[in-house]
Amino acid sequence: DIVMTQSAPSLPVTPGEPASISCRSSQSLLDSNDHNYLDWYLQKPGQSPQVLIYLGSNRASGVPDRFSGSGSGTDFTLKISRVEAEDVGVYYCMQALQTPITFGQGTRLEI
Amino acid sequence: EVQLVESGGDLVKPGGSLRLSCAASGFVFTKAWLSWVRQAPGKGLEWVGRIKSKGDGETRDYAAPVKGRFTISRDDSKNTVYLQMNSLKTEDTAVYYCTTDVLGIFYNYWGQGTLVTVSS
């Protein structure tokens, strides 16, 4: 199984400031078509998760452009250019390269 | 508007069975892949399993902790996906989410979840 590791369980941030969350996989998520099968999800308090980024760097429909994803292979980063109060919640990375699909343990963004 | 509505969550004793349903609307269900993801109280997300569309062979995949005990099925005439859970264990206690699985790439829609509690 591919193990997903997020760098920190929590991340205190200041509104208006940037933030970044790291995720590492135990094996490369790059497939033969040069796609990284890495997604980012945000679970706001009391809500279901929602997709932010798919295939490493593609912003999902309706996601503000302050969110961006980067990285390749085994190291990935989610960046928020300017944190807003509504961004609080738990951020999860997820590998979709192979089953079993696996998630990182989550990083709680705290303001 | 896409909607996924889970139901069937309940309190059940260890060793018991339960069937969850997820009623879908707002998209072409017959072509959809659907997955189940669970979240134990205060914990992170855990993938349970997936069912592909009939056109893609209706292939099912399961996480190791549930393989042989859980079965995912679908009824395209009812736009509903099911999760049959047998031989339930206390560690199966969780909120179970139904999601639309975009060709194995990402989960773009999620239901509100249904709580399963396994306890004596």
* pLDDT, average across residues B23-27: 96
Task: Spell out which residues of chain A touch residue B107, defining contact as CB-CB under 8 Å.
Answer: 39, 41, 49, 51
- Least Cα distance to A30 among A92, A103, A97 occurs for A97
Judge whether A63 is closer than 8 Å to chain B, CB to CB: no
Is residue A7 pLDDT above 90, yes or no? no
> Is there a contact between B3 and B15 (Cβ–Cβ < 8 Å)?
no
Strand pairing partners for B112?
none
List the one residue out of A43, A46, A48 whose CA is nearest residue A93: A43
pLDDT in tens, B86-117: 999 999 999 999 999 988 899 999 999 999 99
Mutation site, A1, A101, A105, A107, interface B, largest B CB count within 10 A: A101
DSSP of B11-41: EE-TT--EEEEEEEESS-GGG-EEEEEEE-T
Instruction: Give the Cα separation of A37 and B77 in Å (integer).
Output: 32
The Cα–Cα gap between A17 and A88 comes to: 13
Cβ contacts of B47 on chain A, cutoff 8 Å? 99-103
Instruction: State percent of chain B over pLDDT 70.
Output: 100
Rounded to a whole number, what is the distance in Å from the CA of B72 to chain A's nearest CA? Answer: 15
Stretch B23-46: mean pLDDT: 97
Residue B103: the pLDDT is: 87
Instruction: Give the per-residue pLDDT at A40.
Output: 98
Is the pLDDT assigned to residue B13 strictly greater than 90?
Answer: yes
Average pLDDT over residues A41-46: 97
Which tens digit of pLDDT belongs to each residue from A68-103?
Answer: 999 999 999 999 999 999 999 999 999 999 999 999
DSSP at B67: B
